[in-house]
Amino acid sequence: MIKGWSLRKVSTEAQLLLVGIPVVLWTLIPVYHLFLFAISPRDTATSGRLWPKSPTMQNFEIVFGQKHFYLSHFWQQLGNSLLIAIATGALTLLVATTAAFAISRLKVRGGRTVMNLALFTYFIPAAFLAVPMYKTMSNYGLLNNRWAMILAMVTIASPYCIWVLKQASDKLPWELDEAARIDGASPLQLFRLVYVPLMVPSLVAVGTYALLLAWNEYLYGFLLLSKETDLPLAVALGNFLSADDSPWELLMATGFIYALPPAAIYYAFKRYMVSGLTAGAVKS
Amino acid sequence: MAEAVATLPKVRRPANSWEIWGRLLVVPYLLIFVIFVVYPVGYGLYLARDPQNYVRLFDDPIFFRTAINTLVFVVVAVNLKMIIALGLSGFFAQTRWWINIVALLFILPWAVPSIPTILSVRFMFNSEWGVINTLIFKLTLKDGPNWLNDPTIALGLSMMMHIWKSLPFWTLILLAGRLAIPSEQYEAASVDGATRWQKFRFITWPSMKGLYLTSTILSMIFTLGDFNSVYLLTGGGPADLTHVLATLGIRYLRLDQIELAMASIVVALPFVLPLVYVMMKRLSK
Question: What is the ipTM metric for this complex?
Answer: 0.89
Q: Does B46 touch chain A (CB under 8 A)?
A: no
Among residues A277, A264, A254, the alpha carbon closest in space to that of A66 is found at: A254
Exposed e or buried b for every residue in A246-267, given b needs 16+ CB within 10 A? ebbbbbbbbbbbbbebbbebbe
A60 and A76 both lie in a single domain: no
Among candidates A33, A94, A234 on the partner chain, residue whose Cβ is nearest the Cβ of B113: A234
Determine which of B119, B209, B230, B279 to mutate to test the interface with A (most A C-beta atoms within 10 Å). Answer: B119
| Mean pLDDT value of segment A30-53 | 82
Residue A269 pLDDT level (bands cut at 50, 70, 90)? confident
- Model pLDDT, residue A37: 87
Residue-wise pLDDT tens digits, B226-237 = 999 999 999 888
Residue A1 placed within a domain: no
- Model pLDDT, residue A3: 55
Q: What are phi and psi of A110, to 5 degrees?
A: 80, 5
A140 and A277 both lie in a single domain: yes
Interface of B with A in 13-32 (CB under 8 A): 17-19, 21-26, 28-30, 32
Residue A196 placed within a domain: yes
Mean confidence (pLDDT) of chain B: 89
Is the per-residue pLDDT at B5 higher than 50? no
Three-class secondary structure of residue B93 per DSSP: coil
- Model pLDDT, residue B280: 86
Please judge whether B29 and A96 are an interchain contact, meaning their C-beta atoms are less than 8 angstroms apart: yes
A21 and A77 both lie in a single domain: no
| Mean pLDDT value of segment B171-191 | 90
Q: Total structural domains in chain A?
A: 2
Q: What are phi and psi of A161, to 5 degrees?
A: -65, -40
CA-CA distances (angstroms) from residue B144 to A33, A39, A211, B140, B236? 19, 26, 41, 9, 22
| Mean pLDDT value of segment B153-176 | 94
Nearest residue of A to residue B161 by CA position? A30
Q: Please tell me what DSSP assigns to residue A105.
A: T
Please judge whether A263 and B108 are an interchain contact, meaning their C-beta atoms are less than 8 angstroms apart: yes
- Model pLDDT, residue A279: 52
Nearest residue of A to residue B264 by CA position? A128
| Mean pLDDT value of segment B110-119 | 92
Q: Does B284 touch chain A (CB under 8 A)?
A: yes
Burial of residue A284 (CB within 10 Å: 0-12, 13-18, 19+) is middle
Contacts of B148 (CB under 8 A, 6+ apart): B122, B125, B126, B127, B154, B157, B233, B234, B237, B238
A49 and A141 both lie in a single domain: no
Last residue of a domain, one of A23, A48, A64: A64
Residue A2 placed within a domain: no
Among candidates B112, B250, B253 on the partner chain, residue whose Cβ is nearest the Cβ of A31: B112
Q: Is A241:B92 a contact under the CB 8 Å cutoff?
A: no
- Model pLDDT, residue A55: 83
Interface of B with A in 194-233 (CB under 8 A): 208, 210-211, 214-215, 218, 221-222, 224-228, 231-232
For chain B, the domains span: 14-47, 61-283
- Model pLDDT, residue B1: 40
CA-CA distances (angstroms) from residue B178 to B184, B194, B211, B250? 13, 18, 10, 39
| Mean pLDDT value of segment A79-98 | 96
Please judge whether A135 and B224 are an interchain contact, meaning their C-beta atoms are less than 8 angstroms apart: no
Show the beta-strand stretches assigned E in chain B: none
The percent of residues in chain B predicted with pLDDT above 90, rounded, is 59
Q: Point out the least confidently predicted range of A130-134, A137-141, A277-281.
A: A277-281
> What is the least distance, in Å, from the CA of B122 to any CA of chain A?
10
Is the per-residue pLDDT at A263 higher than 70? yes
> In 10 A of CB A189, how many CB atoms?
13
Last residue of a domain, one of A64, A80, A105: A64
CA-CA distances (angstroms) from residue B1 to A116, A127, B136? 38, 57, 89
Q: Does B11 touch chain A (CB under 8 A)?
A: no
Exposed e or buried b for every residue in A269-278, given b needs 16+ CB within 10 A? beebbbebbb
Residue B8 pLDDT level (bands cut at 50, 70, 90)? very low
Is the per-residue pLDDT at A56 higher than 70? yes
- Model pLDDT, residue A45: 66
| Mean pLDDT value of segment B108-124 | 92
A167 and A110 both lie in a single domain: yes
A146 and A172 both lie in a single domain: yes
Residue A95 placed within a domain: yes
Q: Does B272 touch chain A (CB under 8 A)?
A: yes
- Model pLDDT, residue A276: 56
Compute the distance between CA of residue A197 and CA of residue A184 in angstroms, rounded to an integer: 19
Residue-wise pLDDT tens digits, B96-105 = 999 999 999 9
Domain residues for the domain of A251 are 72-281
Burial of residue B157 (CB within 10 Å: 0-12, 13-18, 19+) is buried
Please judge whether B91 and A158 are an interchain contact, meaning their C-beta atoms are less than 8 angstroms apart: no
- Model pLDDT, residue B15: 56
A13 and A52 both lie in a single domain: yes
A74 or A273: which leads in pLDDT:
A74
A182 and A59 both lie in a single domain: no
Q: Does B50 touch chain A (CB under 8 A)?
A: no
Residue A1 pLDDT level (bands cut at 50, 70, 90)? very low
Contacts of A230 (CB under 8 A, 6+ apart): A80, A144, A145, A146
Residue A2 pLDDT level (bands cut at 50, 70, 90)? low
Please judge whether B283 and A283 are an interchain contact, meaning their C-beta atoms are less than 8 angstroms apart: yes
Please judge whether A135 and B117 are an interchain contact, meaning their C-beta atoms are less than 8 angstroms apart: no
- Model pLDDT, residue B129: 81
Contacting residues of B for A24, CB less than 8 Å apart: 102, 105-106
Residue-wise pLDDT tens digits, A234-247 = 999 998 887 767 78
For the domain B61-283, what is the CATH code? 1.10.3720.10
Last residue of a domain, one of A64, A84, A112: A64
A120 and A165 both lie in a single domain: yes
Among residues B127, B215, B30, B257, the alpha carbon closest in space to that of A114 is found at: B30
Q: Does B172 touch chain A (CB under 8 A)?
A: yes
A187 and A51 both lie in a single domain: no
Compute the distance between CA of residue B177 and CA of residue A142 in angstroms, rounded to an integer: 44
Residue B285 pLDDT level (bands cut at 50, 70, 90)? low
Q: Is A238:A220 a contact under the CB 8 Å cutoff?
A: no
**What CATH number does the domain containing A109 carry?**
1.10.3720.10
CA-CA distances (angstroms) from residue A98 to A102, A270, B23, B160, B267? 6, 25, 10, 40, 36
Q: Please tell me what DSSP assigns to residue B254.
A: H
